[in-house]
Structure 1
Amino acid sequence: MDAEITLLAGTAGTTIASLLATDAWNGVRNGVLALWRRVRPDHEEHVAVQLDTSRRDLLDARADGDEEAEREIAAEWRGRVRRLLVAHPELAAELRSLLTELAPGTRATTTVTQHATASGDSRVYQAGRDLIIDQP
Structure 2
Amino acid sequence: MDPIVVAAGTAVISAMATSVWETVRDAVVALWRRLHPDKAEQIGEDLEVVRAEIVQARSSGDVSAEQALAGEWQSKLQRLVRNDPALAHEVQRLLEEHLVPALAADEQTRIRTIIQTAHATDHSTIYQAGGDITTHLPPTS
TM-score (norm 1): 0.68
* Structure 2 match to 1:24: 20
1:107-126, aligned counterparts within 5 Å? none
* Structure 1 match to 2:72: 76
* Structure 1 match to 2:62: 66
Q: Which amino acid aligns with 2:53?
A: D
Q: Which amino acid aligns with 1:8?
A: I
Kindly tell me the number of residue pairs found equivalent between the two proteins: 102
Query: What does the per-residue CA deviation read over 1:50-103, in whole Å, with 9 as the maximum and x for residues that have no partner?
Result: 111110001112223322111111000000000011113232222212211221
Contact 1:54 / 1:73 at 8 angstroms: preserved in 2? yes
Q: Which amino acid aligns with 2:62?
A: D
1:8 deviation in Å?
1.4
1:28 deviation in Å?
1.8
Q: Which amino acid aligns with 2:20?
A: A
User: How far apart, in 2, do the equivalents of 1:18 and 1:52 lie?
Assistant: 14
1:23 deviation in Å?
1.6
Contact 1:35 / 1:91 at 8 angstroms: preserved in 2? no
- The CA RMSD over aligned residues, in Å, is 1.7
Larger RCO: 1 or 2 (CA < 8 Å, sep 6+)? 2
1:24 deviation in Å?
2.7
Q: Structure 2: which 5+ residue stretches go unaligned?
A: 109-141
* Structure 2 match to 1:34: 30
Find runs of 4+ consecutive structure 1 residues off by over 4 angstroms.
none
- Percent same amino acid at aligned positions? 38
1:2-13, aligned counterparts within 5 Å? 6-13=2-9
Larger radius of gyration, structure 1 or 2?
1
User: How far apart, in 1, do the equivalents of 2:78 and 2:56 lie?
Assistant: 26
Q: Does 1:87 align with 2:59?
A: no
* Structure 2 match to 1:112: none
Q: Structure 1: which 5+ residue stretches go unaligned?
A: 107-136
Report which of the two has the higher share of helix.
2
Contact 2:54 / 2:66 at 8 angstroms: preserved in 1? yes
